[in-house]
Amino acid sequence: MSERKRHNPFSRRPGWFGDWSSTATHHSPWEDAQGILASVLLISLGLSLFQHMGLITSGIAGWSLVLHYATDGPVGLYFFLLNAPFYILAVLRLGWPFTIKTVAAVTLLSVLVELELSWIDFGEVNPVFGAVLGGVLMGFGLLGVFRHRASVGGITILAVWVQDRTGIRAGITLIAFDLAAFATALLVAEWQQVAYSLLGAVVLNAFLAINHRADRYIAH
């Protein structure tokens, strides 16, 4: 009599909620959830530090901080609303799993950025150290989000779409958005703060350029 295989409720099988198994090259939803949560916590801490110091950063987060300094409105709300139009592009280009995880990450980050400054008192921070630390924190967080096939900013998706439609390299579009944000920041912040912000952006982007390589990480 042949031995009957035991039923594993967590075995790989397609379904409404996708594949719940975990292998060396596949993240389960539970792993995605904890990975994205931990990553968003790091990003939110870096953004809160920048907000405390009056700095800005790259991408949608940078524009959200510029709007906050100009209007004294809520950073988290600006971040959530500015990202919303890019979800359609995310569905069309990268599919529903990526979009759902991205919406969850953006929503969580929007809430945390609004709450953290009431939970943490940073006190006095050296601007050079703060710019470097914030850049590293956000770099680690973004790396984790990317490795779980999600995002917290829609400009990257837009940049790839523009490249497909016009041939303009995605990197050029990203640089153009960042330069516009930093130039606009000069209207609402001191030039020294913008200079420290540029330092933080260099640290952040250098961190991602060095560490975010597909051939070093194959899980999905």
76-135 tens-digit pLDDT: 999 999 999 888 888 887 788 888 998 999 999 999 999 998 899 888 999 999 999 999
CA–CA separation, 50 vs 200, rounded Å?
Answer: 9
158 domain-assigned: yes
Q: How many domains does the chain have?
A: 1
181 domain-assigned: yes
CA–CA separation, 42 vs 136, rounded Å?
Answer: 9
Top pLDDT among 80 and 210 is at 80
Residue 15 is predicted with a pLDDT of 46
Question: What token pair was written down for 46?
Answer: 């870096």
Single-letter residue type at 166? T
Range of the structural domain that residue 55 is part of: 29-214
6 domain-assigned: no
8-state DSSP, 5: P
CA–CA separation, 44 vs 30, rounded Å?
Answer: 21
Strand partners, 26: 23
38 domain-assigned: yes
How far is CA 13 from its chain centroid?
30
Task: Classify the phi-psi angles of 217: left when phi > 0, otherwise alpha if psi is within -120 to 50, otherwise beta.
Answer: beta
Stretch among 8-12, 126-130, 202-206, 214-218 having the lowest mean pLDDT: 8-12
24 domain-assigned: no
The total of other beta-carbon atoms located within 10 Å of residue 149's CB is 18
